[in-house]
Amino acid sequence: MKYSIFSLARAALSGHKNWPRTWRDPEPQKQYDVVIVGGGGHGLATAYHLAHEHGIRNVAVLEKGWIGSGNAGRNTTIIRSNYLLPGNIGFYEMSMKLWETMESDLNYNAMVSQRGVLNLYHSDAQRDAYARRGNAMRINGIDSELLDQAGVRKLAPFLNFDNARFPIQGGLLQPRGGTARHDAVVWGYAHAADKLGVDIIQNCEVTGFTRDANGKVTGVETSRGTIGAGKVGIAVAGNSSRVAAMAGLRLPIESHVLQAFVSEGIKPLIPGVITFGAGHFYVSQSDKGGLVFGGDIDGYNSYAQRGNLPVVEDVCEGGMALMPVIGRVRLLRQWGGIMDMSMDGSPIIDKTPVDGLYLNAGWCYGGFKATPGSGFVFAHLIARDELHREGARFRLDRFQRGAMIDEKGQGAQPNLH
Amino acid sequence: MRIACPFCGPRENGEFSYLGDAKPKRPAPDAGQDAFYDYVYLRDNVAGEMEELWYHGGGCRSWLKVRRNTVTHEIFSVEPVAGAGAQKVAS
Amino acid sequence: MVELSVELSWAETTPLSRIYAAGRQGAKEHDAGLTMAEQTGFELVQVMARRGQWSATDQACKEAYGASAPAKPHAVVAQGALLVWSGPDQFLVLSPRGDGLERARLAFAGMASLSEQSDGRSLLRISGARSRDLLAKVCSLDLHPAVFPQWAAAATSIDHTSVNLWRSTDRDGEAVFHLLVFATFAESLWHTLLDSGAEYGVAIDAPGAWQA
Ligand SMILES: Cc1cc2nc3c(=O)[nH]c(=O)nc-3n(C[C@H](O)[C@H](O)[C@H](O)COP(=O)(O)OP(=O)(O)OC[C@H]3O[C@@H](n4cnc5c(N)ncnc54)[C@H](O)[C@@H]3O)c2cc1C
Ligand SMILES: [Zn+2]
């Protein structure tokens, strides 16, 4: 099925009742060349790139629930490449470029919307830090603009500029940043991977690994039986430690809950993505009109996929400090997802000490924007057994070697990243 | 989630700060790099019952050891850790 | 050399004096639902028993202040001072300005660490029929008389600010709450409390010397 204006017109003639499935629902086969554990954005993108770039099409993605039931379907959909440090900066820009061609690459409307990401600053010191980050971005060919207060006023006149405690002095803008429809990204990769022959198998939980006499991974045990695999890639986000433990591995990762919120729909207000620089609050507006916002992680280990009230209050306080104009808007829904918080706040894409087992993890609260890049780099690693240039620093052993990529400079305290 | 501070009584979790898993113990100074790598960076990241350290910074400023289920957020026990307060509770 | 002339004033001030305005605040169409006031003229000493020295500290407290040191969250009216629990093996000695520190120093020498906090904290009083309604908006504790009677005390957070809270003797049949807060947070907390109480109408008394 190719989506186009013609397919749309054709489907309209039969009242949109005859759309074919976007992807098949196959029974698992006995053996695959590659099995990917986890049907979030990263797992599906990896499968797509294995098939598309590397011609490896005998691939299965195993998902314990339904695809996109994890963080891929729970995030606040922000995409950007406004990083500071080598390792991150090139990777996220590569990912950004993949977002820019994703819809035609996948033949799927992912509602990629580059309406700008604006990080506000509220002090001279913060301005200097943003100027530094903006310069690092420009040196690497990434768009960035340091705005003064007048510049921010032009974009978002409704902000509380004269807040006595946190006056808005300006902001760092990445015009190419923005949002994308998270579910559509999952469905788009599923659609494109399926078309190339990838089996997407839902309701299939991986419960263990099969190994040969040398310890090499030969497949996975699942709730739907044992499935053989030449290679196995793990892309299970918040469940990384649990799945890695099935192969006897301990990871530099803790699982924490992050909450997100959406309000009732209102008329267009928020031009792009706006982040508060003096508290934990960030916001964008969906095409339906709802304000999509969030803040800090709850701060304690959790696998519960729900958070607690103090953070709800904290996020709303941040919102009110930044834009009192939203004070009467009603909150519609609130939910949580489980973040794979790494010890330096940056991801891991690497082989593991277990032969045949590959790891994609540690995305913290920022892995949605990484989805295309992560799939691209992870597929390269699995297919060729070599690191891709843009993912070369995301090593599992970097903590041992002292080669951390710590954007915030927080050290090994995952709830602070 | 409410944590019953043995000194203050039940309080909302916003009054507490989280350090994390109570299990990692600082190795001896000469234990070698691998032991320190393990201590600083590797975590069991338990899905289930876990002992962890919380600080009642918004209350009596005591360090507490909390046994909690990370899947359900159910709390089973809260005890003070070393210090004057702990001694008092034990006696 | 240029002679600089700097005008210094040693006039006594309080953490809230910059923003303090006695009189009515908030709703005015009915009688004030509550009264707020800054309390001044006190001396405050933090007492922390050294390890293993709690019983000695308690004994010394009985001798010097005629009352047991508070071992659980409550406040104790003692001779010339109020003893407010602030944590395990520690409490605050609040007394009218005078010889409070010297008295504590003599009482607890060798067994407890003392720190003088008189100018480090600000003391607020909230009383009247709607005071519990105001506090319910910003404090997560249940302050119902059944669980928070007269002389109950708590160390808690209000509006992200650490507060020692206690209830003293009722006035005109209504509860009286005291909030002890770090001086630099006092303005912020005061604003929050005023905002929360505005709908009930707040009468702000002139700052007055603290009394137990
Ligand atoms: C509230 C919230 C807001 C966020 N906001 C942003 C944002 O604005 N921008 C941004 O860039 N990032 C954001 N993120 C982070 C981003 O969503 C994640 O980093 C990213 O989605 C993780 O990759 P994934 O899509 O592959 O994960 P997931 O979608 O979580 O995929 C992992 C999958 O593995 C499955 N799985 C787990 N265990 C097993 C098993 N044993 N067997 C089989 N399958 C298994 C899970 O069911 C899940 O579907 C946010 C996250 C949350 C929760
Ligand atoms: Zn406590």
User: Averaged over A292-313, what is the pLDDT?
Assistant: 96
C-beta of residue A112 within 8 angstroms of C-beta of residue A77: no
pLDDT of C78 over the 50 cut: yes
Which SS3 state, helix, strand or coil, does residue A187 take?
Answer: helix
Q: Are residues C70 and C159 in the same domain?
A: no
The architecture CATH gives domain A24-108+181-252+344-416: 3-Layer(bba) Sandwich (3.50)
Residue ending a domain, choose from C51, C82, C116: C116
Q: Are residues C133 and C168 in the same domain?
A: yes
User: Averaged over C118-122, what is the pLDDT?
Assistant: 95
CATH assignment at residue C200: 3.30.1360.120
pLDDT of A166 over the 60 cut: yes
pLDDT of B88 over the 60 cut: no
**Pick from C127, C124, C128: which is nearest to C207 by CA?**
C124
Residue ending a domain, choose from C90, C116, C142: C116
CA distances from C57 to B6, C91, C118, C186 (A): 21, 11, 21, 31
Does residue B55 belong to the interface with chain A, where contact is any CB pair within 8 Å? no
User: Averaged over A108-135, what is the pLDDT?
Assistant: 97
Q: Are residues C85 and C139 in the same domain?
A: no
Does residue C88 belong to the interface with chain B, where contact is any CB pair within 8 Å? yes
Report the C-alpha gap between B2 and B68 in whole angstroms. 11
User: Average pLDDT over chain B, rounded to whole?
Assistant: 91
| pLDDT at residue B90, rounded to an integer | 42
Query: Taking the domains of chain A in order of start, what are their residue ranges?
Result: 24-108+181-252+344-416, 117-175+254-342
Q: What is the ipTM of this complex?
A: 0.92
Phi–psi pair at A256, nearest 5 degrees: -130, 155
Q: Are residues C94 and C176 in the same domain?
A: no
pLDDT of A321 over the 50 cut: yes
Which SS3 state, helix, strand or coil, does residue A95 take?
Answer: helix
As for how many domains chain C has, the answer is 2
Q: Are residues C73 and C176 in the same domain?
A: no
Q: Are residues C71 and C151 in the same domain?
A: no
| pLDDT at residue A345, rounded to an integer | 97
- Please name the residues in contact with A356: beta carbons below 8 A apart, sequence gap of 6 or more: A216, A217, A218, A229, A230, A231, A232
Taking CB atoms within 8 Å and a gap of at least 24, the contacts of A329-335 are A329/A263, A329/A264, A329/A266, A329/A291, A330/A263, A330/A264, A331/A261, A331/A262, A331/A263, A332/A262, A332/A263, A332/A264, A332/A290, A333/A261, A333/A262, A334/A259, A334/A260, A334/A261, A334/A262, A335/A74, A335/A259, A335/A260, A335/A305, A335/A306
Report the C-alpha gap between A188 and A174 in whole angstroms. 25
For atom 51 of ligand 1, the residue with the nearest CA is A75
Q: Are residues C27 and C132 in the same domain?
A: yes
C198 belongs to a structural domain: yes
User: Averaged over B37-47, what is the pLDDT?
Assistant: 97
Instruction: Classify residue C13 by burial, with Cβ atoms within 10 Å: 0-12, 13-18, 19+.
Output: exposed
| pLDDT at residue A367, rounded to an integer | 97
| pLDDT at residue B83, rounded to an integer | 60
Report the C-alpha gap between A219 and A217 in whole angstroms. 6
- Measured in angstroms, the CA of A68 and the nearest CA of chain B are apart by 20
Q: Are residues C124 and C193 in the same domain?
A: yes
Q: Are residues C34 and C48 in the same domain?
A: no
Report the C-alpha gap between A341 and A238 in whole angstroms. 8
Does residue C184 belong to the interface with chain B, where contact is any CB pair within 8 Å? no
Ligand of minimum distance to the alpha carbon of B7? 2
The 3 state secondary structure assigned to A218-235 is EEEEECCEEEEEEEEEEC
C171 belongs to a structural domain: yes
What percentage of chain A carries pLDDT values higher than 90?
98
List residues, by chain if needed, whose CB lies under 5 Å from ion ligand 2: B 5, 7-8, 56, 59-60
Residue ending a domain, choose from C79, C100, C116: C116
The architecture CATH gives domain A117-175+254-342: 2-Layer Sandwich (3.30)
pLDDT of C1 over the 90 cut: no
User: All domains of chain B, ordered by start, with CATH?
Assistant: 2-90 (3.30.2270.10)
Q: Sorting pLDDT into bands at 50, 70 and 90, what band is C12?
A: confident
Q: Which chains touch B (3 or more CB pairs under 8 A)?
A: A, C
Q: Sorting pLDDT into bands at 50, 70 and 90, what band is B91?
A: very low
User: Average pLDDT over chain C, rounded to whole?
Assistant: 94
Q: Position B54: which residue type? A: W
Q: Are residues C71 and C145 in the same domain?
A: no
C13 belongs to a structural domain: no
pTM: 0.93
* Cα B6 to ligand 2 centroid, rounded to whole Å: 7
Domain coverage including residue C61: 42-116
